[in-house]
Copies of this chain bind each other. A is one copy, B any other.
Amino acid sequence: MTNFRIDNLQYANWSEKIFRQMREGGIDAVHVTIAYHETFRETILQVERWNRYFEQFPDLIFQGFTAEDVQVARDTDRTAIFFGFQNPSPIEDDIGLVEVWHRLGARFMQLTYNNQSLLATGCYEEDDTGLTRMGHEVVAEMNRVGLVVDMSHSGERSTLEAIEYSTRPIAITHANPYSWHAALRNKSDTVLKALGQSGGMLGFSIYPHHLEGGSDCTLDSFCQMIIDTASQMGIDNIGIGTDLCQDQPDSVVEWMRVGRWTKGIDYGEGSASNAGFPPMPTWYQDNRHFNTIGDGLGRLGMTDVEVNKVMGGNWYRFYQNSFGPAR
């Protein structure tokens, strides 16, 4: 079995430099966000942008559609890029767009991004009313075609209902346990238990607001948290989703938080005095540091087999079972 390396969430300011760093880091696949608040047509523009990258840098990257493409990436020394949305805005109010997007390569879609959506409730709303009428329909359609439900930015009840209602395992692509760092974006023991028991996946985030100690979080603290979560959820249900937002200007984090839903300003996980992108920990500056995590896990006692599961093997298996039509 190949020891795949998969980062299941990034939203960098893409460039040849970053694609080369993916190769230097030995990353076989990256799930990239192509929409935060964009409409269908606006998200198509992001597909077009990626198509240009694929045409310009065919020796570094190509679009991934299936788990087999991760093997192709490994065999050809490239990185397979998988598309995902952090908000259901690209399907607008039209369930038929789920299948269209799957054809175009979307493989993960969050039902909410912080706020209430047409489908479910975000993690920053006062009340979480769970899956909506349309939410149930869309989850079933996502299950049918093979578009993974991602609840990283959703509220507790919505997340539990999605785990329960979805006939296929779901993902929380980028978040950490609330018990380790009490952020609204991190996940309760109840959620983690239900996620693991249903065969779902948690991707550990290195976005500083999700870390104990923020930007000063140590590699050891992060790796011990992974080991503890493995004990809690099972070694087969965890992976990495760094949430690396490399080279992005602060205007991008404002777009993420505010979109077009308010004329005011919302600081999300930040604050007025700390409004921009927080600096990444020194031990994780870019894709070249990916294996630093695996090394850290090994130093704290994880076996090679376990490290390989966390660093990509589990996502690979999840891709195999999740990206095709329901059987």
Contact = CB atoms under 8 A, between A and B. Distances in A.
Interface residues of A, number: 16
- Please tell me how many copies of the chain the complex holds: 2
A270 interface: no
Q: Which 10 A-B pairs have the closest CB atoms?
A: A48-B96, A51-B99, A103-B104, A47-B100, A44-B100, A41-B41, A48-B100, A51-B96, A103-B103, A104-B104
A97 interface: yes
A66 to B, nearest CB: 14
A14 to B, nearest CB: 16
A105 B40 CA distance: 18
A96 B52 CA distance: 8
A94 interface: yes
A27 B95 CA distance: 31
A44 B104 contact: no
Instruction: Classify the secondary structure of A's interface with B.
Output: helix
A47 B104 CA distance: 12
21 contacts: A40-B41, A40-B44, A41-B41, A44-B97, A44-B100, A45-B96, A47-B100, A48-B94, A48-B96, A48-B97, A48-B99, A48-B100, A51-B96, A51-B99, A51-B100, A52-B96, A100-B104, A103-B103, A103-B104, A103-B105, A104-B104
A52 B103 CA distance: 14
Given A44-B97, A48-B99, A100-B104, 18 more contacts: A40-B41, A40-B44, A41-B41, A44-B100, A45-B96, A47-B100, A48-B94, A48-B96, A48-B97, A48-B100, A51-B96, A51-B99, A51-B100, A52-B96, A103-B103, A103-B104, A103-B105, A104-B104
A51 B94 CA distance: 13
Contacts of A47: 100
A104 B106 CA distance: 13
Contacts of A99: 48, 51
A48 B94 CA distance: 10
Interface in A82-109: 94, 96-97, 99-100, 103-105
A294 to B, nearest CB: 34
A40 B94 CA distance: 15
The winner among A48, A97, A104 for most chain B CB atoms within 10 A is A48
Contacts of A104: 100, 103-104
